[in-house]
A and B are shown apart, each in its own frame.
Chain A
Amino acid sequence: MADPSTTRRARARRTLIFAIFLVVLALLYTGYKAFGQAIDDTQRDWWVVGSFLPRSDDKNMPPVLDILAEFGEAPREGGTTIGRLTLDGALFTLREAAVGFAAGTIIGLAIAVVLLQSRRAERGVLPYVIASQTVPLIAIAPIVVVWGRTGLEFLPWEWQDWMSVSVIATYLTFFPVAVNGLRGLQSPSPEATELMQSYAASRRQVLRRLQLPASLPFLFPALRIAATASVVGAIVGEISAGVRGGLGRLILDFAGKYITGPERLYVAIIGACITGLVAVGVVAAAERLLLTRRGIVAQ
Chain B
Amino acid sequence: MNKQAKPKQTQHINRREFIKLSTNSVAVLAGGISAGNLFAARKSSQPKPKNIVLIFTDQQHIDTIAAGGCKHVRTPALDRLKKSGVSFTQSYTPNPLCSPARSAVFTGRTSSECGVHINGRSIRSDIPNMGQWFSQHTNFETFYAGKWHLPRTYTLDIPGFKVIHTGIGGFGYLCDTAMSRACESFLRNRSKSKPFLLVASFMQPHDICEWLRLNMENPERLRYPQLAGMLPELPANFNFDNNEPKDIKNRRLRNDPFRGKSKWDKEHWRYYRWSYYRNIEHLDAEIGRVLRTLEDSGYIDDTLIAFISDHGEGMGHHQMVRKNSFYDEASRVPLLFSWPGHISENKTEAFHLVSGLDLMPTLCDYAGVKPPVNMRGRSLRSILEGNVLSWGHTVVTEVSSNMGRMVRTQRYKYITYKDDPVEQLFDMIDDPGETKNLATGSKYASTLAEHRRMLKDWEARLDVAPNVQNTDAWWYKA
- A in complex with B: no
